[in-house]
């Protein structure tokens, strides 16, 4: 049955009105779920860069190394010392048990030297570890403003890693509108460069308990999955809210 044009327009008008009431659209800005800048805690010369800009790295991956020849030699020296003192301690304990050619005080002194040597070896390993710049998060290397052979010192930035697999969307809204929102409420993000079909669904993860006195607005944050990298954190867009009555 064909619906008269006048009635069809009335139905469409009501539908549009209902949709407008069911959702509020606000401007927002996206940000990566994690964004970390790294610097070395000790001065030194860059000896090797294993991953360049654009590389995806897992947490704990060594991205670059500082020159560490002296630290490596120190570890070898202290390892030999630990092994020698361990062997000496074992011989001393055996002599103490089977003969009286060595005193308990001498054994205790050797044991102390052995324990101290192990601690010093561990400290040497920690010194070497400081020369390795590891990724603190899983993500993409977006900045690497240094080259092999360059000298750097704290707090100089050596690299930046960004996790874009998820992103947050931050918006400042009217407190009256925020009153009708709850944690985990669904939201839809649309990029400034996207179309209606490119909407990404997410959920509210933060509603500020305070209002900014300067603007009179309240900050909310929504989180979205972005495994395909379609959204580039940092770009603007709109956030469609679905407040409850």
- The CATH number assigned to the domain holding 44 equals 2.40.50.100
pLDDT at 61: 97
Do 113 and 153 reside in the same domain of the chain? no
Chain segment 34-89, per-residue pLDDT in tens: 999 999 999 999 999 999 999 999 999 999 999 999 999 999 999 999 999 999 99
Predicted structure pTM score: 0.76
Q: How far is CA 172 from CA 26, 99, 111, 178, 199, in A?
A: 8, 82, 65, 10, 20
Q: How far apart are CA 66 and CA 128, in angstroms?
A: 9
**Residues sharing a CB contact under 8 Å with residue 138, sequence separation 6 or more, in sequence order:** 56, 57, 58, 59, 163
In the chain, the number of structural domains is 3
In a domain, 6, yes or no: no
Could you tell me the residue range of the domain that residue 209 belongs to?
21-34+164-241
In a domain, 7, yes or no: no
Helix H, strand E, coil C: the string for the chain is CCCCHHHHHHHHHHHHHHHHHHCEEEEEEEEEEEEEEEECCCCEEEEEECCCCCCEECCCCEEEEECCHHHHHHHHHHHHHHHHHHHHHHHHHHHHHHCCCCCHHHHHHHHHHHHHHHHHHHHHHHHHHCCEEECCCCEEEEECCCCCCCEECCCCEEEEEEEEEEEEEEEEECHHHHCCCCCCCEEEEEECCCCHHHCEEEEEEEECCCCCCCCCCEEEEEEEECCCCCCCECEEEEEEECCCC
Bridge partners for 106 per DSSP: none
Predicted confidence (pLDDT) at residue 2 exceeds the cutoff of 90? no
Do 181 and 157 reside in the same domain of the chain? no
pLDDT at 98: 87
Chain segment 188-224, per-residue pLDDT in tens: 999 987 755 578 999 999 999 999 999 999 999 999 9
Q: What percent of the chain has pLDDT over 90?
A: 81
Do 104 and 84 reside in the same domain of the chain? yes
Contact call for residues 242 and 186 (beta carbons, < 8 A): yes
Do 237 and 135 reside in the same domain of the chain? no
In a domain, 5, yes or no: no
Predicted confidence (pLDDT) at residue 17 exceeds the cutoff of 50? no
In a domain, 79, yes or no: yes
**Residues sharing a CB contact under 8 Å with residue 228, sequence separation 6 or more, in sequence order:** none
Contact call for residues 186 and 45 (beta carbons, < 8 A): no
Q: How many CA atoms lie within 13 A of 204 on its CB side?
A: 20
Chain segment 123-134, per-residue pLDDT in tens: 999 999 999 999
Do 62 and 136 reside in the same domain of the chain? yes
In a domain, 10, yes or no: no
Per-residue pLDDT band at 99 (split at 50, 70, 90): confident
pLDDT at 121: 97
pLDDT at 245: 61
């Amino acid at each position: 049955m064909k619906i008269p044009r006048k009635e069809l327009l009335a139905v469409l008008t009501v539908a549009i009105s209902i949709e407008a009431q069911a959702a509020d659209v606000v401007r927002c800005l996206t940000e990566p779920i994690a964004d970390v800048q790294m610097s070395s805690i000790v001065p030194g010369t860059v000896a090797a860069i294993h991953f360049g800009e654009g590389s995806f790295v897992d947490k704990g991956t060594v991205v670059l190394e500082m020159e560490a020849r002296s630290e490596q030699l120190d570890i070898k020296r202290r390892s030999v010392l630990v092994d020698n003192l361990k062997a000496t301690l074992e011989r001393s304990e055996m002599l103490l048990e089977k003969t009286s050619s060595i005193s308990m005080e001498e054994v205790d002194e050797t044991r102390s030297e052995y324990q101290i040597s192990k601690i010093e070896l561990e400290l040497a390993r920690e010194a070497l570890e400081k020369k390795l710049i590891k990724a603190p998060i899983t993500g993409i290397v977006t900045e690497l403003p240094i080259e092999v052979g360059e000298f750097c010192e704290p707090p100089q930035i050596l690299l930046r890693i960004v996790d874009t697999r998820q992103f947050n969307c931050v918006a400042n809204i009217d407190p009256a509108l925020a009153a009708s929102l709850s944690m985990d409420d669904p939201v839809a993000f649309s990029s400034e460069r996207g179309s209606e079909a490119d909407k990404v669904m997410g959920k509210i993860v933060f509603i500020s308990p305070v209002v900014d006195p300067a603007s009179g607005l309240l900050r909310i944050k929504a989180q979205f999955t972005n495994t395909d990298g379609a959204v580039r954190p940092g770009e603007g867009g709109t956030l469609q809210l679905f407040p409850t009555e």
